[in-house]
A and B are shown apart, each in its own frame.
Chain A
Amino acid sequence: MIKAIEVTKSFGATVAVDKVSFEVKPGEVLGFLGPNGAGKSTTMRMITGFLPLSAGKILIGDYDIEEDPINAKRLMGYLPENAPSYPDMSVEAFLHFCAAIRGLSGPQKEQAVEKAIETCHLGKVRRQIIDTLSKGYRHRVCFAQAILHDPPVLILDEPTDGLDPNQKHEMRLLIREMGKSKAIIVSTHILEEVEAICTRVAIIDQGRLVFNGSPAEMLAQSPQAGRVSVNILGPNAVEIRATLQKLPAVTDIQILKELPLWTSVLISSSKKDGLASAVKALLDSQKWDFNELHTETGRLDEVFRRITSLDSAQEVKK
């Protein structure tokens, strides 16, 4: 549905986005990550047709955003950064205007506006002037504008920015629900959001795409991922270390905590699959009591830091 091919944008001598390629199919929610100034918003602005491309190609459905912008834009809903809207209009008037511009009229328009108001819980403020609304409401007004025409493609630039925790939760549910049928790109700084809503992650750093894969693949890049931690009751640390060395392909055994009654251990191995059950089998054979045996899943923020702080010569992971 969304296809970016070697998209490049330069402002004068600075290259803001450098040959970024990716694809989003219907039913996919792509999380767009990257440090501030990495080129996320610039890329989104090119996808939505606001900024012209310096090189490359973007296809929305079958339409080239540069050659047939009107038809391409028809397929898209866009929530820009900071959620702009016309402050001197009422919520209802603003949505009616957007619906009219989207080519809706008559009962179809009424229906679309009603549905957007309901979905975004704007019923209470529908006649209020946008300028007098709180930030959370203004954000939802702009989001309502994006989903008004039920577009197959949604581009959301920081959709949960400025919302309270309840609204954030609701927004995520909404995105996940819509993600079942639509092609969605979401940019965010909040990594927990990626796990909550995204089926795929793209990380952009200094204008380059440095990661493109599923959240699970991203987690797997964490050095923590696949390690097994366990609390062993009884034997002392020296004994434990000696015993655990027998595990296959063990690379490191860390004693995290040593208490009179139990010892907390972290085991790393180059063979990550089945490590937990191997540890369990070994402990059982020693007849040692243990608890809290679990495999670490790694942390997204760690991976994010690692990927985006590496030298720009980092290869692109497909």
Chain B
Amino acid sequence: MRNAWIIAKRELAGYFVSPVAYVFIVIFLVLMGFFTFMMGGFFERNDASLLSFFVWHPWLYMLLVPAVGMRLWSEEHRMGTLELLFTMPVTPAQAIIGKFLAGWLFLLVALLLTLPMVFTVQYLGEPDIGPILTGYIGSFLMAGAYLAISGLTSACTRNQVISFITALVVCLLLVLAGYPPVTNILLKWGAPSAVVDFAASLSVVFHFESMQRGVLDIRDFIYFFSLIVFAIFTTSVVLKSKRA
């Protein structure tokens, strides 16, 4: 674990010495604000909650998290530092987890910078703090799942553009699986409702929505963590087969 942490620290420092971190955070916050207030109708709702804020997270992350994850491994490939890292006395698992943690912590920093949103609703009304808290937890877990997937696509290619696009498409599928347009198509095709439910339950939106409403269900945790573990494990397989 110590080694994973050393790698995470190095990686995290790497975000902040380059403009990547600042550009990302500014764009993230501006878009968050724009969608919440302009598209989400924050004021028109006349409701002291952050629903109009959280509802955009699956979509915004889809665009932004792959941008963070795309460089995780393709950059190491390109710079040749992968050879350096994997000839040091660290296990691949330590390296993968370290890099993932760095990205996740970075996303956490970006997410925490949206806290003024919470202060805003608190100033304007008396929101229920429970759903806000669980919403943040859900958002953080979802960011982790997206990041793990982006890390996986990044391990597959040394081309960052390919990594970005692939991660975006996979995340898009995960979002769309639960949306009515998709589930309706399945229903129209005469799919049994069990199948439709299953497809919908694969969607991040399905699991994130209950968290926005203040429900902390162990199944949602299992869902996000199994996505993360699966992607990280597959990353290790891909990295190993690349060297074989």
Given A73-B87, A102-B89, are A80 and B80 also a contact pair (CB < 8 Å)?
yes
For the side of the interface on A, what is the size category? 20 to 34
Stretch at the interface among A49-57, A120-128, A183-191, A206-214: A49-57
Q: Are A82 and B80 in contact (CB under 8 A)?
A: yes
Q: Are B89 and A45 in contact (CB under 8 A)?
A: no
How many angstroms from the CA of A76 to the CA of B14 in the assembled complex? 26
Q: Are B14 and A50 in contact (CB under 8 A)?
A: no
Q: Are A101 and B6 in contact (CB under 8 A)?
A: yes
The answer to the question of B184 belonging to the interface, with a C-beta cut-off of 8 Å to chain A, is: no
The answer to the question of A145 belonging to the interface, with a C-beta cut-off of 8 Å to chain B, is: yes
How many angstroms from the CA of A101 to the CA of B87 in the assembled complex? 11
Contacts of B7 in A (CB 8 A): 101
Contacts of A73 in B (CB 8 A): 87-89
Within 8 A of A (CB), among B4-42: 6-7, 10, 13-14, 17-18
Residue of A nearest to B16 (CB): A88
The answer to the question of B3 belonging to the interface, with a C-beta cut-off of 8 Å to chain A, is: yes
A293 CB to closest chain B CB (Å) equals 52
How many angstroms from the CA of A52 to the CA of B87 in the assembled complex? 12
Q: Would you list 8 pairs from A and B whose C-beta atoms are within 8 A, ordered by A residue?
A: A69-B89, A71-B89, A89-B10, A89-B13, A100-B6, A101-B6, A101-B88, A102-B88
A143 CB to closest chain B CB (Å) equals 12
Q: Are A103 and B81 in contact (CB under 8 A)?
A: no
Q: Are B89 and A86 in contact (CB under 8 A)?
A: no
The answer to the question of A297 belonging to the interface, with a C-beta cut-off of 8 Å to chain B, is: no
Within 8 A of B (CB), among A162-192: none
The answer to the question of B194 belonging to the interface, with a C-beta cut-off of 8 Å to chain A, is: no
Within 8 A of B (CB), among A9-63: 45, 48-52
**Main SS at interface, chain B:** helix
The answer to the question of A115 belonging to the interface, with a C-beta cut-off of 8 Å to chain B, is: no
A39 CB to closest chain B CB (Å) equals 16
Given A80-B80, A101-B7, are A52 and B88 also a contact pair (CB < 8 Å)?
no
The answer to the question of A278 belonging to the interface, with a C-beta cut-off of 8 Å to chain B, is: no
The answer to the question of B244 belonging to the interface, with a C-beta cut-off of 8 Å to chain A, is: yes
The answer to the question of B222 belonging to the interface, with a C-beta cut-off of 8 Å to chain A, is: no
The answer to the question of B91 belonging to the interface, with a C-beta cut-off of 8 Å to chain A, is: yes
Within 8 A of B (CB), among A273-307: none
Q: Are A84 and B89 in contact (CB under 8 A)?
A: no
Within 8 A of A (CB), among B90-127: 90-91
The answer to the question of B86 belonging to the interface, with a C-beta cut-off of 8 Å to chain A, is: yes
Given A49-B86, A50-B87, A70-B91, are A101 and B14 also a contact pair (CB < 8 Å)?
no
The answer to the question of A248 belonging to the interface, with a C-beta cut-off of 8 Å to chain B, is: no
Contacts of A86 in B (CB 8 A): 10, 14, 79, 81
The answer to the question of B197 belonging to the interface, with a C-beta cut-off of 8 Å to chain A, is: no
The answer to the question of B47 belonging to the interface, with a C-beta cut-off of 8 Å to chain A, is: no
Q: Give which listed residue, B10, B17, B240, B244, contacts A97 with CB less than 8 A.
A: B10
B91 CB to closest chain A CB (Å) equals 7
The answer to the question of A220 belonging to the interface, with a C-beta cut-off of 8 Å to chain B, is: no
How many angstroms from the CA of A43 to the CA of B232 in the assembled complex? 29
Given A50-B243, A80-B83, are A70 and B13 also a contact pair (CB < 8 Å)?
no
The answer to the question of B84 belonging to the interface, with a C-beta cut-off of 8 Å to chain A, is: yes
New A-B contacts (18) at CB < 8 Å, excluding given A73-B88, A74-B89, A93-B13: A49-B87, A50-B83, A50-B87, A50-B243, A80-B84, A80-B87, A81-B80, A82-B80, A86-B10, A88-B14, A89-B13, A89-B14, A97-B6, A100-B6, A101-B7, A101-B89, A129-B17, A142-B84
Residue of B nearest to A142 (CB): B84
Q: Are B90 and A101 in contact (CB under 8 A)?
A: yes
Q: Are B14 and A51 in contact (CB under 8 A)?
A: no
The answer to the question of A137 belonging to the interface, with a C-beta cut-off of 8 Å to chain B, is: no
Contacts of B14 in A (CB 8 A): 86, 88-89
Q: Are A48 and B6 in contact (CB under 8 A)?
A: no
Contacts of A81 in B (CB 8 A): 80
Q: Are A70 and B83 in contact (CB under 8 A)?
A: no
The answer to the question of A98 belonging to the interface, with a C-beta cut-off of 8 Å to chain B, is: yes
Contacts of B3 in A (CB 8 A): 101
Within 8 A of A (CB), among B60-80: 79-80
Residue of B nearest to A41 (CB): B83
How many angstroms from the CA of A46 to the CA of B79 in the assembled complex? 20
Contacts of A85 in B (CB 8 A): 81, 84
